[in-house]
Amino acid sequence: MSIFGLDTIADTKHWDELYHLLDPAKKSPFFSSGYYRSYASIEDGKTLCFWGMQDEDNFLFYPLIKKSINALGYDLGAQYYDISGAYGYNGPIGKVSDPQFIYLFNTELQAFLQNNRVVTEFVRYCPITGNRKYHNYTQQLDVLDNVFIDLSQGLDTVWSDSFEYRVRKTVRKGESYDLVTHFFRGQEITKSLLEVFFEIYNSTMQRTKADDFYFFDFDFFQNLASNLQEMLLVLITFFEDTPISTELILLDGELAFGFLGGTLSEYYQYKANTFQRWELLKYLDTIGIKKYSMGGGSSRGDSVYNFKLNFAKGCDNPFFIGKTIHNPDIYEQIQEQWKARHPMSASRSAHLLQGYRKLDG
């Protein structure tokens, strides 16, 4: 017999229990209540977790953010919503040995979304856990490539077989400058440490002219440290006594995910970014991490992706999104109003399922 339910961010009892039941190879902090609690202030909406359980070998849970569409100014006659996940990877995740349970879960999930007047659903599936297999009704599109480093065969194999020659050469050059990387996890992540990270990260976002979304406020990082505890790792690389490069890592079980980071441009010559990544891999190996996800680029085959691929020769790991229109009639009304009221935005973002959220112009 299967049971289904809904947790809120105020009561995450079942959510937390199911997260802890995940296999070590599936434990991604992006799906934890702590991550969603930290993210709650970034986007307006209600944080929920739809879950179902048959037994400890058959369970799924789906953290999501339910947002009002009417609040954007659309006149729809009744209240309607859309759903998506927090920044990063999302969608249903769990453990399934009985294929029938996937069907039951998705049937209950669709009924819940219909009853809650959800118009559209957008998902960024995790390419490391392969959780898209648990979502059987979405249109799933292969849109980018993810790069991950396999640590399961040991560091020697990573160094000789995963790294391109140029990476090994750059690491050695970084070592010649006597760079030092320090690691901080859980209670070791203090406010002053986060301030160092924040300064380097923001300078990098400004230099690269990143989208406004990526300028997270300082409270977000403090909340991550408070809510994720041991699932958060901050590393900082120093040249002499100056912090010049940093990265924030989410990790649990056998998985680690590069999240946010940066390097001061005036110290590029010291190759701190590449040196730091090798030091990170050595650290992750000591704590039993088997896969380190570096993410991908902004577009398929761009320079960022190609740079990351230098660390993982031959990595073939596509990244999928999922899209569903649950209420086509209301969606058509939204599209018509969007085009009439915000023609410039509608023209630029017509390809996006939830493009109607872009109202500039």
The torsion angle over the Cα atoms of residues 5, 9, 10 and 11, rounded to 10 degrees, is 30
Strands 93-96 and 58-68: antiparallel
Q: What is the DSSP string of 304-324?
A: HHHHHHTTSTT---EEEEEEE
- What are the tokens at 284? 């992750």
Over its length of 361 residues, how does the chain's per-residue pLDDT go in tens digits?
A: 899 999 999 999 999 999 999 999 999 999 999 999 999 989 889 999 999 999 999 999 999 999 999 999 999 999 999 999 999 999 999 999 999 999 999 999 999 999 999 999 999 999 999 999 999 999 999 999 999 999 999 999 999 999 999 999 999 999 999 999 999 999 999 999 999 999 999 999 999 888 888 899 999 999 999 999 999 999 999 999 999 999 999 999 999 999 999 999 999 889 899 999 999 999 999 999 999 999 998 888 888 899 999 999 999 999 999 999 999 999 999 999 999 999 999 999 999 999 999 997 5
Strands annotated E in the chain:
3-8, 46-55, 58-68, 81-84, 93-96, 118-124, 139-145, 147-150, 180-185, 232-239, 242-252, 255-263, 291-295, 318-325
Q: Would you tell me how many other CB atoms lie within 10 Å of the CB of residue 230?
A: 12
Q: Which are the contacts of 111, defined by CB distance < 8 A and separation ≥ 6?
A: none
Identify the structural domains of the chain with CATH numbers, from first to last.
3-145+319-357 (3.40.630), 147-295 (3.40.630.30)
Within the chain, what is the greatest distance between any pair of CA atoms?
A: 67
What does each C-alpha distance from 306 to 8, 154, 168, 190, 314 come to in angstroms?
40, 23, 16, 34, 11
Give the pTM: 0.95
